Structure 1
Amino acid sequence: MAPRRLLRPVQLLWERLPLMDRWLSGELLGPLVFGVAAFTTVSLSVGVVFELVRRVAESGLPVAAAMQVLGLRLPGFLVLSFPMATLMATLLAYSRLSGSSELTALRSIGVSTTRMVVPALGVAVLMSLLTFAFNDLIVPAANLQAAETLNEALGRSVATEKGSNIIYSRFSLRPANNDSGADRYLSQLFYARRFDKGEMQDVTVLDFTRENGTQMLQARKGTWNVEQGMWEFRDGQVVMAGGEQGTTTSAKFDRYLYPLDQGPLKLAALPKDAASMSVGEALSAEQLLREAGDQKEARRMRVRIQEKFAFPTICLVFGLIGSSLGVRPDARTSRSQGFGISVLLIFSYYLMSFIFSSLGVKGTLAPFLAAWMPVFIGLAGGLVLLRQASR
C-alpha cells in the first residue's frame, strides 16, 4: 500500500498533463531506455570490465570480488550515460515522428515547433535532477566502496595509498604595526612523507611562533592523541635555531606532545578524486585545502564543485540539441545514425568541457565560468538549431 500512496501524486500529475505532452513523452521513453543501456554497456566494458578481467587472470582477483566491484562501479557509469542517452532519445524519437509526418500533422493544426520540444525539455530536466541525485548521493560512496573492495581483495592497504607527501600549512593572525588591523602569517608548516593506517611517518614540523627563533621538529612517526587533543610524536628531535644570539640548540625525545589541530590528518584522508566526494564533502575539502595554503588544489576543487552542478545540466543541453535536430521537417535518422551523431556531439561537448576545465584549474578562468561556459555555449547552440527548425 505504501508504494501506491507514494506513486499516486505522480500519477495524478501525469494525468493532468496535456495529451500531446504525454504522447511525446511516451515516445521518448523507449529510445531513452535503449540509450542508457547502450552507452552504459559500452562505457562500462571499456572502463571497468576489461581491467577486472585482466586482474582476475593476472593478479588472482576472486571472481566474486570482481563482480562486486563491477556492481559498485555501475552507478558512476550510469551517471555518464544519462546525458548521452537523453541526446540520443530526443534525436531518434523526434526524427521518427518527423519521418512519419506526425509532426507535420501537429504543425497543420497550429502547434509550433517550440511547443513540440517542450516535452523533451521536461524529460531532460527530470534526467538532470536524476543525474544530480545519483552523482551526489550514490556515486561517491559507491566509488569509495569499490576501491576499498578491490584493494582488500588484492591484499593491499587502502590507507597506504591514500596519503603521501602530506603538506599542511597553518596560518595565524598577529597585530599589525599600523592601524590596518591584524596580519596573517604562516605560523606552522607540517610535512609527512607518508600516511599509513592513521599514522604519519617521517614527520617534519616548522614552528614560526617561537619568540626565541624557529623550531624544527623531526620525528619518525606521529599520531593524533585523542585524549590530549594534540599530536604525539615518537623517536625524534627538536632543533631551535635563530633568535637574538643566533644560537642553535637541539634535544632528542622518545615521546613529544605538540599542539596542532587535526588538519594534517583530515588532509591525508581526503579522497584524491572529487568524483568520490559529495557536494558537501567537496566544499569541506576546498575549505581545508584553502586553510592549508594549497591554493592550486583549492582552486581545482572549486572548479570540481561547480562542475558537480554544471554536469547534470548537460541533460538539458543535449535534450534541446537532440530535439531541435530531430524536429526538422526533413529529419530522418535511424538508430545507427542517431548513435553516430550522438557520439560525435558528445565527444565535441566533452572536449570543450575539458578545455574550459583545464583553464579553470590553471587559473585563467574563474571556476564558475570554467564549469558553466560549455553549458551556456551548448544552450546557445541548441536555441540556434531550434530557431532554424522553426522556420
Structure 2
Amino acid sequence: MWLQQIRAWMRRIPLLDRWLLGELIGPLLFAVAAFTVVSLSLGVMFELVRKIVESGLPVLIAIQVLLQRLPSFLVISFPMATLMATLLAYSRLSANSELTALRSVGVTATRMIAPALVLAVLMTSLTFVFNDVVVPRANRAAEVTLRRALGKAVATEKGDNIVYSRFGRVEQPDGSTSKGLVQLFYARQFRDGTMNGVTVLDFSRPGFTQMLVSKSAQWSKQDAKWEFLNGQILTLTPSGSTTSADFDRYLYPLSAAPIRIAKLPKDANDMTVAEALQAEELLRQAGDIKEARRLQVRIQEKFTLPTACLVFALIGASLGAKPNNRTSRSQGFGISVVLILVYYVLSFSFSSLGVKGTLPPLLAAWSPVLISLAGGGFLLRQASR
C-alpha cells in the first residue's frame, strides 16, 4: 500500500525533475562512498590498525569502533559529495548536449538546477539530523568501546583543569558595593564525582582574602555544600597578617556548578545543539567568556555545516551547467577537492576570528556561507548566458 502511495507521489513530480534527479542520485552515492572511505581511512583506520598491532586491540572491536565513528565522517562527506555529484551530473549532461536541447525549448539554467537544489535541501536536513542526533552518541560510544577494549578505566564523570568563577556584589572598604569576583574554584582533576587537587580563592568578606587548599572535594547533596577533605585554610586579614588552619573535613558553601562544568564534553562535536546551548550558558555564568564565545561559534557551525550542502549544490550545478562543459569524473573530483579546500580554509579563517572575538560568532560562522552563495549566484548568471 505504502509503495503505491510513493509511486503516486513520484508521478506528481514533473518528468524533467524526475529525470534530472535520477541523473544526480548515481553520482551522489558514488561521491558519498568515495569521500567517506578516504576520510575514514585517514581519520580512523590507520590509528586503529596501529592499536591492533601495538596494543593488541581485537579486530572485531576495531571494526565496531570503526562503525561507531562512521557517522561523524558521513556528516563530513555529505556536503562534499553534493558538490561532486552536481558537478559531474550536469557536466555530463552538458557534454552530451542534453542541456543545450533543454535551452532550445526555453528551459532556463535556473530551472535546470532546481532539482539539484531540492536534493541539496534534503541532504542539508539529513546532515543536520546526523550531526545533532547520531554523531554525538556514536562518538561517545566509540570512546567507551575503545577504552574498555584497551583495559583503560571508563569514567562517566571526568574532566581536567576545571575552573569556575562566581561573580556577585562585593563590599568595598568605603561601604559601597560593586559587581566583582567573589569566588574562584580550581580543580586539577575530576574523576567519578570527586574533585582532586582543589584550590578555592574567596573574596566575599570585605578586606579578607581566603585560600582553601584540599587534596579532594565532593559535592554533598544532603548539606548542599562542598565537602573538602585533608586540606588547609589560609586567611589574609586587612592588617596584613596571615592565619592558617588544617582540617580533615570542611563544608564550604558553593553551588554544584563546578561539577556541571567538569562534565561538559571538551569537543563540541560530541554535543547536541541543546547540550551546547546549555554548556554555553553555564560557561558564561562561570565567567569563562573566551570558552563561551568559542562554543557560540561552534553552535552556529552546527547549522552552517549542513547548509554547505546547499552552497555546494549551487556552485557545482552552476559550473556543470555551463554550455559546452566537458568535465570528466577525474577532473570533477579534482575540481571538487579544490573548491572544498577553498571553502573550508575560508570557514576556518572566519571561525578563528569569531573565537578570538574579532567578529561576532553569528557573523563569523555564516560569512563563508554568504560569500559562497554570492559566488554561486555569479556562476549561475554565467551559466544562464
TM-score interval (norm. to shorter): over 0.9
Residue correspondences, number: 384
Paired residue type of 2:247: F
Match of 1:120 in 2: 116
Q: Confirm or deny: 8 A CA contact 2:171 2:206 kept in the other structure.
A: no
What CA deviation, in whole Å up to 9, does each residue of 1:366-385 have, x standing for no partner?
A: 11111111101110111111
Match of 1:295 in 2: 289
Provide the rounded CA distance (Å) in 2 between the counterparts of 1:176 and 1:215.
16
Structure 1 residue 11, shift from structure 2 partner:
5.2
Q: Secondary structure at the match of 2:374?
A: helix
TM-score calculated relative to the size of structure 2: 0.95
Residues 161 and 354 (structure 1 numbering): CA distance in 2 closer, same or farther, change over 3 Å?
A: farther
TM-score calculated relative to the size of structure 1: 0.93
- Structure 2 residues not aligned, in runs of 5+: none
Match of 1:172 in 2: 168
Q: Secondary structure at the match of 1:231?
A: strand
Match of 1:332 in 2: 326
Structure 1 residue 256, shift from structure 2 partner:
1.2
Provide the rounded CA distance (Å) in 2 between the counterparts of 1:255 and 1:40.
54
Which among 233, 237, 247 is matched to residue 238 of structure 1?
Answer: 233
Alignment of 1:136-175 (within 5 A): 136-159=132-155, 162-173=158-169
Which among 11, 36, 55 is matched to residue 59 of structure 1?
Answer: 55
Match of 1:321 in 2: 315
What CA deviation, in whole Å up to 9, does each residue of 1:24-82 have, x standing for no partner?
A: 11111000000000100110011100100001100111222211110110000000000
Q: Confirm or deny: 8 A CA contact 1:159 1:195 kept in the other structure.
A: no
What RMSD over aligned residues (CA atoms) do the two structures have, in Å? 2.1
What CA deviation, in whole Å up to 9, does each residue of 1:329-348 have, x standing for no partner?
A: 11112211111111111111
Q: Confirm or deny: 8 A CA contact 2:187 2:198 kept in the other structure.
A: yes
Provide the rounded CA distance (Å) in 2 between the counterparts of 1:323 and 1:389.
9
Q: Identity rate of aligned residues, in percent?
A: 64
Alignment of 1:1-391 (within 5 A): 4=2, 12-159=8-155, 162-173=158-169, 183-211=178-206, 213-243=208-238, 245-391=239-385
Provide the rounded CA distance (Å) in 2 between the counterparts of 1:370 and 1:47.
26
Provide the rounded CA distance (Å) in 1 between the counterparts of 2:309 and 2:35.
14
Deviates more, 1:30-39 or 1:196-205: 196-205
Q: Confirm or deny: 8 A CA contact 2:173 2:207 kept in the other structure.
A: no
Structure 1 residue 235, shift from structure 2 partner:
0.5
Q: Confirm or deny: 8 A CA contact 2:84 2:316 kept in the other structure.
A: yes
Q: Secondary structure at the match of 1:260?
A: coil
What CA deviation, in whole Å up to 9, does each residue of 1:120-154 have, x standing for no partner?
A: 00101110111011000000111111112112222
What CA deviation, in whole Å up to 9, does each residue of 1:160-191 have, x standing for no partner?
A: 9942221110112358999xx97422111001
Q: Secondary structure at the match of 1:188?
A: strand
Provide the rounded CA distance (Å) in 2 between the counterparts of 1:184 and 1:141.
40
Q: Confirm or deny: 8 A CA contact 1:279 1:308 kept in the other structure.
A: yes
Deviates more, 1:15-24 or 1:160-169: 160-169
Provide the rounded CA distance (Å) in 2 between the counterparts of 1:344 and 1:162.
40
Deviates more, 1:73-82 or 1:197-206: 197-206
Paired residue type of 2:353: L
